[in-house]
Amino acid sequence: MLLNCDLGESFGSWTMGQDAKAMAHIDQANIACGFHAGDPVVMQRTLALAKQHQVMVGAHPAYPDLVGFGRRSMHCSSQEITAFMHYQIAALEGMAACQGLRLSYVKPHGALYNDMMSKDSVRQAIMQAVSSYPVRAMDNGSANSPLKLMLQANASADEHLQQAQDMKLELYFEAFADRCYEDDGSLMARSKTGAVLDHDAMLKQVQQLVQYGTITSASGSTLHLKVDSLCVHGDNDTGIAAIKSIRQLMEKPSARKA
| pTM of the predicted structure, to 2 decimals | 0.92
Asked whether residue 144 is domain-assigned, the answer is: yes
CA distance 121 to 114: 12
Asked whether residue 45 is domain-assigned, the answer is: yes
For residue 223, the Cα-to-chain-centroid distance in whole angstroms is 21
CATH number, position 71? 3.20.20.370
Residue 138 is part of which domain span?
2-175+226-233
Asked whether residue 220 is domain-assigned, the answer is: no
Asked whether residue 136 is domain-assigned, the answer is: yes
Count structural domains, the chain.
Answer: 1
pLDDT < 50: residue spans in the chain: 254-258
CA distance 193 to 227: 25
Asked whether residue 183 is domain-assigned, the answer is: no
Length of the chain as a residue count = 258
Are 65 and 35 contacting, i.e. CB atoms less than 8 angstroms apart? yes
Asked whether residue 248 is domain-assigned, the answer is: no
Asked whether residue 66 is domain-assigned, the answer is: yes
Asked whether residue 184 is domain-assigned, the answer is: no
CA distance 225 to 222: 10
Count the Cβ atoms, other than its own, within 10 Å of residue 191: 6
